[in-house]
Structure 1
């Protein structure tokens, strides 16, 4: 049976969900961000136990198809933005997401906006800015290198977008004690 798990956004989340399901005596056949295939199929009572366990850890089982699809979009955005070099991506992230989910972009866009109250494009920008904050805090790359890595046309474009989202320029953010990153699952 396939379970869809909300807020499962990183490798540690995958590890924690796997451990919890195994402690509940389920075999995890396959697990990716937001999706877990388990065996044997859980009973209704076992699903309640899984749901309660997941909620204690900050996760949520999803049963509505639309919610599952929105969560898949979020997970694909996180995967692309946080786990790949965007300078090597030669098509729009939205096209990649629609292709990977085998769904029409217009449908995904409408659904995402209805459920989340913001567009996929704005969600992508917010995720990119959180990744930029992370890279700024590490201090290993300069702003030009970060802009290139994140697929921006220039550091000026990155700076303008960063300031419009965070209210600070990248240099102010880096030198400020106010530099606060958001958990990936809290970005809206």
Structure 2
């Protein structure tokens, strides 16, 4: 049986879910971002208990099919941007469509209708968040970061970065270093 969990976007979340399943005596075959597969058919009482216990950790057990699909779209994007450095061999729309086995136009229209933004805008926001993270780590230059995030050039990354954050990547790096130095001097 597959269950879908909203806000399950990190390894720590997966650990929390694993612990909760074990506490309830449920056996799982798979725990991925946003989805778990359990061997048993879960009764309504255990489902309510799981839902309640997950909520205390900020996670939400999903029931609505539309919300489940939206969450699956988000998890595919988050995994693609934050947890893999492998360049997809196809464009993002094909990648998402293949991963979820739905027509991209349907996914795109549903996502826009429910979330109020396009899938493309959601991808850009996450790519910029990942870029901010990589800039602050200070281990890669902008060319390497643009390559990891599948930008065609540093200029394209810089343009989108400024559009989303209001700052250039170099300015963001500079204020990050100042902040780090200030914290070290406390």
TM > 0.5 between the two?
Answer: yes
TM-score between the two structures when normalised by the length of structure 2: 0.91
| 1:135 partner SS | helix
| 1:106 partner SS | helix
| 2:140 partner SS | coil
Stretches of 4+ aligned residues off by more than 3 angstroms: 177-180
Q: Are residues 1:38 and 2:45 paired?
A: no
Q: Which has the higher contact order (CA 8 A, sep 6+)?
A: 1
| 2:3 partner SS | strand
Q: Which residue of 1 aligns with 2:174?
A: 175
- The 1-side partners of 2:94 and 2:102 are apart by 10
Q: Which residue of 1 aligns with 2:124?
A: 125
Once the two structures are TM-superposed, the CA of residue 90 in structure 1 deviates from its matched residue by 3.0
| 2:38 partner SS | strand
Q: What are the within-5 Å matches in structure 2 for residues 154-169 of structure 1?
A: 154-169=153-168
Once the two structures are TM-superposed, the CA of residue 83 in structure 1 deviates from its matched residue by 1.9
Q: Which residue of 2 aligns with 1:184?
A: none
Instruction: Provide the aligned length of Structure 1 versus Structure 2.
Output: 179
Larger mean CA deviation between 11-20 and 108-117 belongs to 11-20
Q: Are residues 1:135 and 2:130 paired?
A: no
Give the direction of change, closer, same or farther, for the CA distance of 1:38–1:136 in structure 2 (3 Å limit). same
Structure 1 spans left out of the alignment, 5+ residues: 181-188
Residue 80 of structure 1 contacts residue 93 of structure 1 at CA under 8 Å; is this kept in 2?
no
Q: Which residue of 2 aligns with 1:92?
A: 91
Residue 162 of structure 2 contacts residue 169 of structure 2 at CA under 8 Å; is this kept in 1?
yes
- The 2-side partners of 1:34 and 1:162 are apart by 28
TM-score between the two structures when normalised by the length of structure 1: 0.90
Larger mean CA deviation between 88-97 and 115-124 belongs to 88-97
Q: What RMSD over aligned residues (CA atoms) do the two structures have, in Å?
A: 1.7
Give the direction of change, closer, same or farther, for the CA distance of 1:179–1:13 in structure 2 (3 Å limit). farther
- The 2-side partners of 1:178 and 1:146 are apart by 18
Give the direction of change, closer, same or farther, for the CA distance of 1:21–1:90 in structure 2 (3 Å limit). same
**The structure with more radius of gyration:** 2
- The 1-side partners of 2:50 and 2:122 are apart by 29
